[in-house]
Amino acid sequence: MPQHLDPRLLRAFLAVADELHFTRAATRLYVAQQALSRDVRRLERELGAELFVRTTRQVTLTSEGERLVPYARRVLAAQEALLAAFGQARPLLVDLNSPGLETGRRVLRLARELAPEQELMARYESGLTGAAGEMIAGRLDVSFGRFAGLPPVMRSQLDHQAVRLEPMAVVLPEAHRLASLPEVPLSALAGECVYAGAGNPRTPEWTDLAHRLFDGRGIEVAPPVPLAVGDEEFRRIMAKAGNPILAVVGFPAMPATVLRPLVDPVPLSPVSLVWRKGLVHPGFDALRRAADRISAEEGWLTRPANGWIPAIDVDMIKTGN
């Protein structure tokens, strides 16, 4: 048994354990596959244990490999905490979903004020499900979104803190029959086909929320459209399709459209701060403090008497898991 173990070897091991694929793990770590394979073999020699079963078709963890995973995560988390304590923390990568959305942007801005010595860098993954995969893989630290909408296998590897119940809205073309209303009752959308990200692999949590909201109200979720990358392309595709768009009240303005709050009831989009379990970083501590402060000061988690959220979200907000 070695007296000293290079943390780099543990990072190589965890990347392969997460991906179960040497090429993807090497891409994740920005190293050559041959170098990654050498590090894994060296770790196996130093521990005197086979960690992976490798075939031409697949890579799987051995029982010894499975036993090593939690130890490796704890060692690397401790190393990160040590570096952070001495001012050597790496940047914290914070996904804000999309540019212009208010909740994550405001929390990040306050966190930067609370910890100006830390580097908190924004990312834009477009949806929590897409971001969750990046967090689990170690390429992203934190995101914002509807935690209850994630698959259970993802939720088991992540943790969350409820931040906001954000009122929902609808984006309408200026010529739409409902565009003149200051608020749009949900019942007025009966017979409409509303875009809610159907078919987008990065945002199924949002489409699921729409299905739950529209169920029994005569509102259809619009079928998938070509997946747009970037604001300009999204606006072009939406204008071409012509469907109303399910949104939140802080949704950025789009040309030739109006944004109208939904009422009777007021549907609420549950937003959580979501992170990879075991995350240790002083910038992350500031982010959680910022979320707590704004949420408390502005009543972000206060549910109006006529507010609506799915039961599964209510339960998760109460239990915090």
Q: Do 118 and 92 contact (CB within 8 A), yes or no? A: yes
Q: CATH classification of 92-165+269-319, choosing from 3.40.50.300, 3.50.50.60, 3.40.190.10, 3.20.20.210?
A: 3.40.190.10
Q: Tell me: the pLDDT tens digits for 123-165?
A: 998 899 999 999 988 889 999 999 999 999 999 989 999 999 9
Q: Tell me: the pLDDT tens digits for 16-38?
A: 998 899 988 887 666 788 888 99
Judged by DSSP in three states, 31 sits in: coil
Domains 92-165+269-319 and 167-267 share a fold: yes
C-alpha–C-alpha distance, residues 147 and 123, integer Å? 18
- Rounded to 5 degrees, what angle do the CA atoms 230, 236, 241 make? 125
Instruction: Identify the CATH number of the domain defined by range 7-85.
Output: 1.10.10.10
Largest CA-CA distance found in the chain, in angstroms, rounded: 74
Q: Is the pLDDT reported for residue 318 higher than 70?
A: no
Computed over every residue of the chain, the mean pLDDT equals 89
Domain boundaries, the chain: 7-85, 92-165+269-319, 167-267
Averaged over 210-220, what is the pLDDT? 97
C-alpha–C-alpha distance, residues 296 and 264, integer Å? 26
Q: Is the pLDDT reported for residue 91 higher than 60?
A: yes
Averaged over 271-280, what is the pLDDT? 89
C-alpha–C-alpha distance, residues 9 and 44, integer Å? 10
Q: Tell me: the pLDDT tens digits for 92-122?
A: 999 999 887 899 999 999 999 998 888 899 9
Domain 167-267: CATH class, spelled out:
alpha beta
Q: Is the pLDDT reported for residue 11 higher than 90?
A: no
